[in-house]
Amino acid sequence: MTDGAHLALGVVRALVLLLGLGVTLTAARAYRRVGEPYLRDAAVAFAVITAGVLVEGVLFQFTDLDLTAVHVVESVAIGVGFLVLLRSLRA
């Protein structure tokens, strides 16, 4: 991967991480304000998805794993997060 592509990937990953943190904090604040369990579960789901983005970035930057392997890790976190989110919406 070229230096420009690495930089672009890092910038996009940082933006997604910040957006994920914002959504997670908003859901957590809504839960504290309203007290509905589905909002708590939604906050947990967004936190898991955001953690997947963070873990992927750390693994890609600081380990010798290839891009496919770190995408698998991120995809598992996103899948788990979506399952928790689905549970929160069905409750």
List of residues 6+ apart from 11 with CB closer than 8 A: none
Whether residue 72 contacts residue 62, with contact meaning beta carbons closer than 8 Å, is answered with no
pLDDT number for residue 91: 66
Q: What is the H or E stretch that residue 19 is in?
A: helix 3-34
Task: Give the type of residue at 43.
Answer: A
Whether residue 17 contacts residue 46, with contact meaning beta carbons closer than 8 Å, is answered with no
pLDDT, mean of each 10-residue run, the chain (91 residues): 82 93 96 95 95 91 90 94 92 66
